[in-house]
Amino acid sequence: MRIGLFAINYGTCAEPASAVRVARHAEAAGLESVWTGEHLALPTPQPEGYAIAPTLPFLDTIVALTLVAANTTSITVASGIIVLPLHHPVMLAKQLASIDHVADGRLIVGLGAGYVEAEFAAMGVALAERGRRMDEHLDAMHELWSADRPEYHGRFVDFADIDAQPRPRQPSGPHIVLGGVSDGARRRAVMKANGWYAFNTTQAMAREAVAMIAADQKCYDRPPELGPLEITMTPVGHFDRDVVDWYQELGVDRLVLLPRPTAPREHRHDPVSVEDTLRTIDAAASWLS
């Protein structure tokens, strides 16, 4: 089982010094990876039932990945997830290839379609187009990373007679993980990605998700060069070594943990402290030993 840590760019870790301290502690403890989240903008006032307060600080994921990559030497840096339809794929492909060089090949690119309507509206992107944009942007980025003469012609992306160097360390581009539990998200993961990411899973949800993605792999043709589909999850609820073993027996390859407070916070959305985050890392490290 590989174990990573989430939230390296928001809440407490939106403060750069804290992000570096946490990433270095995770690296020294033997965790496999640290993961960013992404929201370019959040709705205000906060909609009823919406989990993220608009005042929660979010360091830009590209900036955060670069910062953490430059201040570590062995831990994997990962985006979990970049809202791909809100980014131009030519620019994003360049940014991610550059991070991969800064990290010396330690990058995992987590991508998803997004869901916050106000965020899409602010960026001038129709929420209804996100699925088509996901497919085109993924294919265009792969073309830029791997083709001798990159060329792509689609509805939203169109280019030819260009090149962008340096390419990522890996010949076919960075390791790609796609998030989301919708039919389209799972299809893309099977057909276009190295891995699939399910966020905030209870054990019941995790069991159902693994069954769904197993059924999808029987329905869709997976390119053999992608290898076995890697499954990543962020669990919720009670967590200890027995739970780690349960997820491993289920067939999950990686758990990305949210930092956990050791005492009640004054407000539900207050960021978890650096000290609590370090304790989460130490607990996870003990489960690996």
Tokens 């389209």, located at residue: 184
* Inter-CA distances, 162 with 100, 144, 190, 218, 273, Å: 21, 9, 29, 38, 46
pLDDT digits (tens, 9 = 90+) for 164-194: 999 999 998 999 999 999 999 999 999 999 9
Class level of CATH domain 2-288: alpha beta
* φ/ψ of residue 211, rounded to 5: -65, -40
For 67-71, the CB contacts below 8 A with 24+ separation are 67/16, 67/19, 67/20, 68/8, 68/19, 68/20, 68/23, 68/34, 69/99, 69/102, 69/103, 69/106, 69/107, 70/102, 71/20, 71/23, 71/24
Entry pTM: 0.96
Work out the percent of the chain whose per-residue pLDDT is above 90. Answer: 91
Domain boundaries, the chain: 2-288
pLDDT digits (tens, 9 = 90+) for 49-108: 888 999 999 999 999 999 999 999 999 999 999 999 999 999 999 999 999 999 999 999
For residue 129, the model assigns a pLDDT of: 98
pLDDT digits (tens, 9 = 90+) for 268-288: 557 799 999 999 999 999 988
Whether pLDDT at 289 is above 80:
no
Whether residue 176 contacts residue 194, with contact meaning beta carbons closer than 8 Å, is answered with yes
pLDDT digits (tens, 9 = 90+) for 19-39: 999 999 999 999 999 999 999
Euclidean distance between the first and the last CA atom of the chain, given in angstroms as a whole number? 11
Work out the percent of the chain whose per-residue pLDDT is above 70. Answer: 97
Whether residue 22 contacts residue 31, with contact meaning beta carbons closer than 8 Å, is answered with no
pLDDT digits (tens, 9 = 90+) for 203-251: 999 999 999 999 999 999 999 999 999 999 999 988 899 999 999 999 9
